Each structure stands twice: as C-alpha cells, then as structure tokens.
Chains A and B, each alone.
Chain A
Amino acid sequence: MKFLRNFFDKAYEKAGEKFHPVVESFDTILFSPNHTTKSGSHVRDAVDLKRTMMFVILAMVPCLLFGMWNVGEQHFLALGESVSFFDKFLHGAIRVLPLVVVSYGVGLTVEFIFGIIKGHSLHEGYLVSGMLIPLIMPVETPLWMVAIAVVFGVVIGKEVFGGTGMNILNVALTTRAFLFFAHPNSMIGDKIWISQMRDMEANGTLADGVSGATPLGQLATMDPGTVDTYYANGGVDFSQSLMGNYLGSIGETSVYAILLGLAFLLITRVASWRIVVSFFAGGFVMASIFNIFAGDNVFMQVPALSQLMLGSFMFGMVFMITDPVTAAQTNKGKFYYGFLAGFIGILIRVANPAYPEGIMLGILIANVCASLIDHMVINANIKRREKRLAKATA
C-alpha cells in the first residue's frame, strides 16, 4: 500500500494544477482521502457517495451476468444449435462487454473533461449510469451509436445542469431516449434483439420460425382476439418472464436477477422502498384498468401481474425510478412520483403500439414532474406553518 500511496503523491506533483482532478479521481478510488472535519459534527457517517453508487453497481451484477448468458442463449436458439452453458455465456460476454467498455470509456472521458474544466475530481454519478446504459440497449446496437448517445446523455442530460446531483432527467434513460428518437431503426423492430441476426439472415443460417420480436413487440401487433392465442403460440408466459430467457434489452429480462438486485438495494436501504412500492402499484393499477376495458385487444388482456413482468418494467422499478437525484425528494412525494411513473409507463406501453417501451418514457415524464410533486408536498408544509402562525396571532 505504501508503494501505491507514494505513487499517487508523486503523480500529484507531476500532474500540476490542471490535471490534479484526474489524479485525484483515481487516488480517491483506491484510497479514502485523509480529509478531516473542520468544525460542526466532528465525526461523520462511514458511508459516502462512492460506496452508495458502488452498491447500485453491485446490485446490477446479476442482471449483467444473466444478460450475457441470455444473449448467447438467444443467439444459439436462433441458429438452432445447442451448445454448452459456457459457450452461450462466452458469446454473450463477447457481445456485451464492448458495450460496457464503450459506455464507461466515453462517459468517463466526458466526465473527466468537465472535471478538468471545473477543477473537481470525478463525481460518482456516471459510475452507475455507465453500467445502466449497456443493460438497457438491444444487443445489436452499434458501438458508435452508443458512444454518441452517451456523449449526449452526459452533456445534455447532466453536465449542462451542473453535474452529478443537479440533473433533472435520468442520464441513462436520456441516453436511450436519444437513440430511440434519433436512430429508431436500431432501437425498435425485430432485427436488433438477437445477436448477429442480420448476419444469420444474410447467410441463411437463421432457424425456421424465429421472428426476432420481443414479447411486447408481438403483443402490440397482435390481431384482435384473446390473450390465450398469444400464449398458445409460444408467447412468453409468467414463469418464463420471471426466468428471463426471452428477447429484450440486455439486462432487463430476468425478473429473478432484478429481484436479487432489489433485495440487495432494499436491505442496504440504498433504494427507497416508497418509490419501488408505488411504482409497482401504479403499473398494476393501470394494467388492471386495461384488463377491465380490454375487449378483444390482446395486449390489454394480458393479466396485470404478467404485464408488469414483461419488458423493462421491473428493471425500471429497481434501477431507474429509484435514482435519488431525479426522483421526488420528499418522502410523501416519492409515493406520488413512483405511482405516476408506473401508471404512465404502462399506459404508453399498451395504448401506443409505436412505443412498446413505454416505461422509459413514463419514468422520464415522472422525472420532469418530480419537482412539481415536491413543490406541492412542501407547499402543504408551508401552509401548515402559516395556519399555525395565523392561529397564534389571532
């Protein structure tokens, strides 16, 4: 450790003032700094932002690992080959890791540039966003597109507002929304969810009957009928959606993996249970309303609970909506905020077949409304105080 410490002490001298933040960033990752309190509370809680953020990343690891396996699984399923678990995982890892590397590489570079301009070390926010972004991408997203989207997400989504802690929209979702609207043919459709599907089609190696559509894509384009025909034709049922071996963005499919992350985040109290619960309730209520008024619309008929297990709802519930910066800040507001996001998310998903990934938009809309929700909650507190004053002076 002494050797490392000396290394950093020397690095500071070499870096000079301008690159001090860069050295500091790496230094504070390896060493907790020797800063002491000056006044006020002389002792401080052992937790800091780095640890909090790292816990979110740890919570995503099951999703990442499962996502890698699932990419391989779906790839070889489309080829009609049966290979070992290890081969599937290896294929997935080869496809997924470049996305992770590009996301972190580009994002952190942008962060470092802003750090140098503003003279502060790396703030931790992007460590989480950098992992979230690959997990919410279709596996076939070109790397250059990810790079551009990340630059957009970090600069426009966060840095223009003042950096970590100041952004209004979730950075990872801003990135995805950018791609969604700027390059829709890489984000929607049937060709992007299976690794190397376009090659397979060109080579004629694609197995018969592989459509490449996600369950939500299928459901959105179903002819009027009953949901039973969807399940009878091999639609993703409840238990499969829990397991997650179906098509979707890399990290979003397995509910089991997501719940592992959720358990970790709730036990360590990093995520707010208020938001999680109300988001689930919001989605459930909207899906139930659709159930009641479904008629012969298959998508609307999907049982509420099954509806929530599909697509990105659960992933959004655990990793997106709980982002403390873009969420409502007040405990009461969190209930309204979560409910709104879940409600609108399912509404957009089901009611607008062009946007099967409505959850992303639902959360972004809730992000925008978060300050308004807080404003109303805090206003109630202010009103209470004014009433008390009026009573005292009356």
Chain B
Amino acid sequence: MAKAIKIKKGLDLKVKGKPEPNIQEVSNSSDYALKPTDFPSLTPKMVVKEGEKVKVGTPIFFDKYREAIQYVSPVSGTVEEIKRGAKRKILSVTIKADSEFSHESVDTSGDTKEVILKSGLWPTIKQRPLDIVADYNKVPKAIYVSGFDSAPLAPDYEFLLNDKKEALQAGFDALSKLTEGKVNVTIESNVKSSSVFASINGIELHTISSKHPAGNVGTQIHHIAPVNKGEFIWTINAIDVARIGTLFTSGKLDFTKIIALTGSEVESPSYYKMISGASLTNLVDKKITSDNVRYISGNMLTGDNVGKDGYLGFYENQVTVIPEGDVYRFAFTEGWMAPGFNKLSNSQTFLSSLVPKKAYDVDTNTNGEERAFVMSGQYEKVFPFDIYPVQLLKAAITNDIDKMEKLGIYEVAPEDFALCEFVCSSKINSQQIIRDGLKVIEEECM
C-alpha cells in the first residue's frame, strides 16, 4: 500500500551554493577513472592491462567473489594506469578517452538480470543489509528507489528526469522483473501530482515530508517496511533507473550524467553534462572563486574528498566545492567561544540560531577535537529511525556482533549516520564506524 510518511526529525543544512536549474556546457574531459574504492568491500580482479584498448562497456575488472558483477569502462579509449596502494590494493584504473566513442554491443533480449549484469550497469543496484553492490544470487523482498535527493545542495531529480519518462518507465519495468515484491518509489509530498514519477506504471508510489534525511532511501525503507535479519532488499538511484531504461529501449550503454556543481566556492552553481568517472579538471576550471578549497565528489555529508585532479564517483550526481578549514581561529572572536553570528549549528548555542533561515559558508574545520560520547540526545534529533544510534555505534566500536544485530545494523547504511556525524559535539566519525561494523557483519554473519 502506498504510504504517506511524515517525520519530524532531521536537519536541512542551510548552506550557500544551491545549483540553478540550467544545464551548462563543459568540454568533454579526456581523463576518466574507474575506482574500486567507490564500491565498499569490493575485491576487484583486473581484466585489462595498461595500454589496452577499451570501448564503452568493456569490462575493466570484476568482483573476485561474485564473478558475474562486471565493472565496465564508461568511455572508449586506452587504459592508462592501474594505480595501486598499500598491499597492492587497486585504487583506480585511469582511461584516456578517444575523441570518438565506440560501444560494446549489448544484447538486451535475454533474461533481464543477465542483461544488466553483462552490460555493466549491475553495480548501480545496491543491497541492504551491508550497503554494498547487490548479490545477484538473492531474490530481494522489494526494491526501493528514492525519487529525490534531500542532501545539502543536492541536484533536483525532477529537473534531471522530467524528459526521461520513457527511460524511467523502461527502467522500472526491468527492475520489477528482479524482485518478487514491489518496486517502491518515494517522492516529496509537496511535488506529488507534478512529479515525473506520478505517471509511471507498475510502481508503488509513496510520499514523505520532512527534512534531510527524508530523501535517503534508508529512511524511506525504515518507514515503509524495515529490513529484518535474513531479508534482502535492493536500492537504486532514480537516475540510474533511467540509465537501465535507456539500455533496454535503445540497446545502448550511456554513461553520460548531468551533475550539479555546487558549493559556496563555485561561481555560479548549476548543472553540467558529464560522463561517469570523468576528471573534474575541466568541470571546475575557472569556476572556483578561491584557492584553498576542497573538491568533493558527492554531497558535503557523504561525498569523497577527491581533490582538484580527482574523478567523479560512480554513484555521484553532484560535485561540491567548499573552503578548507585548516586555520587556527582565536577562541573568543571566531573560535569555540565566539558569539557566532555566522556559525552553522544545530545546537542553540550560537547567535546564528536566532536567524534560522540564513544560508552559511561552511568549511571543513572539525570545529573541535574528538572526544568520548558526552552529550546525549543530539543524534536522536536528526536520526528518524526507531534505532538507538549511540548504542548501535558503541556496539560497532566494540565489535559486538550480537548487540549490533539486536540494535538494527541490518537496517542502516553509513549515509544514514551522516547527520549524526555532523551534529556530534564530540566529533565522532560515525559513518566510518558503521562502515567498519558492516564489514564485520559481512565477514562473520553473511
């Protein structure tokens, strides 16, 4: 049954740099990368060697333990370098693109699952529990798609998808063949009738009204039908649903993306057409207003710090540029004891709490040192789950598998804890703790 979800908890970060709804041109980058690090707990096995020619859709590496999952090249060109880190872990595979693209041919007539696996679009589908690329041997209880992104400065999905109705429909048709349950889509309650999802057939359309993390699929799942131990559900980004749809309607792999370039340090934030895995160099060229900035592939709560020469992440539809905060601040004028007219905080201890609508510049300073858990009740204000966040984190820190299971580790992903991490006055890195906890669960319980 379609649900109208209303939740009170959450927090919309009031930050500067929201993208204007227009799509700008940017010259195509010639450098691309496929990063195994974009996929948690993946052990890649290389298929290509440095210097080899690849086409759009040529497998670059596959999952060592789930061999049918292939990770393919988003462009055609030459494999330039396989970058390795400590213990020869593969960090990224860079590809120099040709000017003209040639595509691997994809036969879309067979079994839907096989087609998606072969095409290389399978990694767009993730699973809960664990928040990793979905296991194709399992049949999910249901599939969940969030119809919007509520993260800070996030791209507007309605804007990105309003001319992709056909592709979306085809994508959802394909997805519904992968589950015995329903394909659930949740949209914001205030766009209900005008939403591009409203006219899609064969989906269960829910609405949700709240602040971030209402747009996180995890929040939506929790309020529609929480994941129990032993169950599997799959999630996929709405943009990627359209991509799968395009594969089935046109038989062509298309890795182009419209991404939002956002953040307070971007001159005029708007949308740009790019290809998945592209280098950010062209995108950010001459558009950044200051020098000491951080380039984040993704949003400022969950994205990756990739640097100016970094690459767009596999799952990301957004690039955020914010100032670095690596400066000392005198305590009483702009540091920890400042009156704080210009400080973004969910606490009420700054004068800025008197002007709740103002948008702020926020930098990457931690605004304090890491401490033990002291304050209580902070996380609960921004964590709309029937889960005790601090207790779950403590279970994860102590590797207490039994406790983690009991407290709901199967229902959460690191991104669900992003706001907890933001508001924490003890500056605890909860997303990493949850990711480590999930890793333990994967090794011991799956």
What residues of chain B lie closer than 8 Å to A166, measured between beta carbons? 372
What residues of chain A lie closer than 8 Å to B408, measured between beta carbons? 385
What residues of chain B lie closer than 8 Å to A327, measured between beta carbons? 376
Q: Please give the distance in Å from B261's CB to the nearest CB on chain A.
A: 16
Q: How far is the CA of A47 from the CA of B300 in the complex (A)?
A: 18
Query: A381 interface residue, CB < 8 Å from B?
Result: yes
Mark contacts of A23-62 with chain B using CB atoms, 8 A cut-off: 1 yes-contact digit, 0 otherwise. 0000011111111111111111111111110110000000
Q: Which residue of B lies closest to A47 (CB)?
A: B347
Q: Are A42 and B305 in contact (CB under 8 A)?
A: yes
Given contacts A45-B423, A381-B386, contact A32 B328 (CB under 8 A): yes
Q: How far is the CA of A334 from the CA of B350 in the complex (A)?
A: 25
Query: B441 interface residue, CB < 8 Å from A?
Result: no
Contact of A45 among B322, B391, B424 (CB under 8 A): B424
Chain B residues at the A interface, C-beta cutoff of 8 Å: 13, 15, 226, 228-231, 294, 296, 300-305, 320, 322, 324-331, 334-337, 340, 343-350, 362-369, 371-377, 380, 386-388, 390-391, 406-408, 414, 418-419, 421-427, 429-432
Q: How far is the CA of A40 from the CA of B421 in the complex (A)?
A: 8
Q: Are A165 and B380 in contact (CB under 8 A)?
A: no
Given contacts A36-B366, A42-B305, A381-B387, contact A47 B345 (CB under 8 A): yes
Query: A384 interface residue, CB < 8 Å from B?
Result: yes
Q: Are B377 and A331 in contact (CB under 8 A)?
A: yes
What residues of chain B lie closer than 8 Å to A331, measured between beta carbons? 377, 380
Q: How far is the CA of A51 from the CA of B334 in the complex (A)?
A: 12
From 340 to 394 in chain A, residues with beta carbon under 8 angstroms from any chain B beta carbon are: 374, 378, 381-382, 384-386, 388-389, 392-393
What residues of chain A lie closer than 8 Å to B331, measured between beta carbons? 29-32
User: 10 smallest A-B Cβ distances: which pairs?
Assistant: A48-B368, A165-B372, A32-B335, A46-B343, A40-B431, A47-B347, A41-B421, A46-B345, A329-B376, A32-B329
Query: A160 interface residue, CB < 8 Å from B?
Result: no
Q: Are B305 and A41 in contact (CB under 8 A)?
A: no
26 contacts between A and B (CB under 8 A): A32-B328, A36-B324, A36-B363, A37-B364, A40-B302, A41-B302, A42-B294, A42-B296, A42-B305, A42-B320, A42-B322, A43-B13, A45-B346, A45-B422, A46-B350, A48-B336, A52-B425, A165-B372, A267-B348, A268-B348, A269-B348, A325-B374, A327-B376, A378-B388, A388-B228, A392-B228
Q: Are A378 and B391 in contact (CB under 8 A)?
A: yes
What residues of chain B lie closer than 8 Å to A51, measured between beta carbons? 336-337, 349, 368, 425
Contact of B349 among A44, A125, A270, A384 (CB under 8 A): A270
What residues of chain A lie closer than 8 Å to B348, measured between beta carbons? 267-269
Q: Which of A28, A268, A329 has the most CB of B within 10 A?
A: A329
Q: Please give the distance in Å from B428's CB to the nearest CB on chain A.
A: 10
Q: How far is the CA of A207 from the CA of B420 in the complex (A)?
A: 60
Q: Which residue of A lies closest to B420 (CB)?
A: A41
What residues of chain A lie closer than 8 Å to B369, measured between beta carbons? 28, 33, 35, 48, 121
Contact of A381 among B325, B376, B407 (CB under 8 A): B407
Q: Which residue of A lies closest to B374 (CB)?
A: A165
Q: How far is the CA of A378 from the CA of B390 in the complex (A)?
A: 11
Q: How far is the CA of A36 from the CA of B408 in the complex (A)?
A: 31
Q: How far is the CA of A330 from the CA of B376 in the complex (A)?
A: 7
What residues of chain B lie closer than 8 Å to A4, measured between beta carbons? 330
Contact of B390 among A28, A163, A164, A329 (CB under 8 A): A329
Q: How far is the CA of A31 from the CA of B336 in the complex (A)?
A: 8
Q: How far is the CA of A33 from the CA of B270 in the complex (A)?
A: 34
Q: Which residue of A lies closest to B394 (CB)?
A: A329
Q: How far is the CA of A165 from the CA of B294 in the complex (A)?
A: 32
Query: A292 interface residue, CB < 8 Å from B?
Result: no
What residues of chain B lie closer than 8 Å to A123, measured between beta carbons? 371-372
Q: How far is the CA of A123 from the CA of B370 in the complex (A)?
A: 10
Q: How far is the CA of A147 from the CA of B430 in the complex (A)?
A: 39
Q: Please give the distance in Å from A343's CB to the nearest CB on chain B.
A: 21
Q: How far is the CA of A272 from the CA of B345 in the complex (A)?
A: 18
What residues of chain A lie closer than 8 Å to B429, measured between beta carbons? 38-40
Query: A303 interface residue, CB < 8 Å from B?
Result: no
Q: Are B373 and A165 in contact (CB under 8 A)?
A: yes
Contact of A31 among B320, B325, B328 (CB under 8 A): B328
Query: A202 interface residue, CB < 8 Å from B?
Result: no
Q: Which residue of B lies closest to A36 (CB)?
A: B364
Q: Are B345 and A40 in contact (CB under 8 A)?
A: no
- Looking at chain B's contact residues, the main secondary structure is loop
From 154 to 211 in chain A, residues with beta carbon under 8 angstroms from any chain B beta carbon are: 162-166
Chain A residues at the B interface, C-beta cutoff of 8 Å: 1, 4-5, 28-52, 54-55, 121, 123-125, 162-166, 267-270, 272, 324-325, 327-331, 334, 374, 378, 381-382, 384-386, 388-389, 392-393
What residues of chain B lie closer than 8 Å to A40, measured between beta carbons? 302, 414, 418, 421, 429-432
Q: Are B376 and A324 in contact (CB under 8 A)?
A: yes
Q: Are B368 and A31 in contact (CB under 8 A)?
A: no
Given contacts A42-B322, A165-B372, A382-B406, contact A55 B329 (CB under 8 A): no
What residues of chain B lie closer than 8 Å to A386, measured between beta carbons? 406
Q: Are B371 and A164 in contact (CB under 8 A)?
A: yes
Q: Are B301 and A41 in contact (CB under 8 A)?
A: yes
Q: Which residue of A lies closest to B298 (CB)?
A: A42
What residues of chain B lie closer than 8 Å to A52, measured between beta carbons? 347, 349, 374-375, 425
Given contacts A48-B367, A165-B374, A325-B374, contact A42 B303 (CB under 8 A): yes
Q: Are A49 and B296 in contact (CB under 8 A)?
A: no
Given contacts A32-B335, A34-B365, A35-B366, contact A45 B407 (CB under 8 A): no
Contact of A324 among B328, B334, B374 (CB under 8 A): B374
Given contacts A378-B407, A381-B387, contact A39 B304 (CB under 8 A): yes
What residues of chain A lie closer than 8 Å to B423, measured between beta carbons? 45
Q: Are B366 and A37 in contact (CB under 8 A)?
A: yes
Given contacts A40-B429, A42-B296, contact A34 B326 (CB under 8 A): yes
Q: How far is the CA of A156 from the CA of B27 in the complex (A)?
A: 66
Q: Which residue of A lies closest to B406 (CB)?
A: A382
Contact of B365 among A1, A5, A35, A50 (CB under 8 A): A35
Q: Which residue of A lies closest to B328 (CB)?
A: A31
Contact of A30 among B330, B344, B346, B368 (CB under 8 A): B330
Q: Please give the distance in Å from B142's CB to the nearest CB on chain A.
A: 12
What residues of chain A lie closer than 8 Å to B414, measured between beta carbons? 40
Q: Are A388 and B226 in contact (CB under 8 A)?
A: yes
Q: How far is the CA of A267 from the CA of B374 in the complex (A)?
A: 19
Given contacts A36-B325, A268-B349, contact A324 B391 (CB under 8 A): no
Q: Which residue of B lies closest to A123 (CB)?
A: B371
What residues of chain B lie closer than 8 Å to A382, measured between beta carbons? 406-407
What residues of chain A lie closer than 8 Å to B421, measured between beta carbons? 40-41, 44
What residues of chain A lie closer than 8 Å to B418, measured between beta carbons? 40-41
Q: How far is the CA of A316 from the CA of B334 in the complex (A)?
A: 33
What residues of chain A lie closer than 8 Å to B422, measured between beta carbons? 41, 43-45
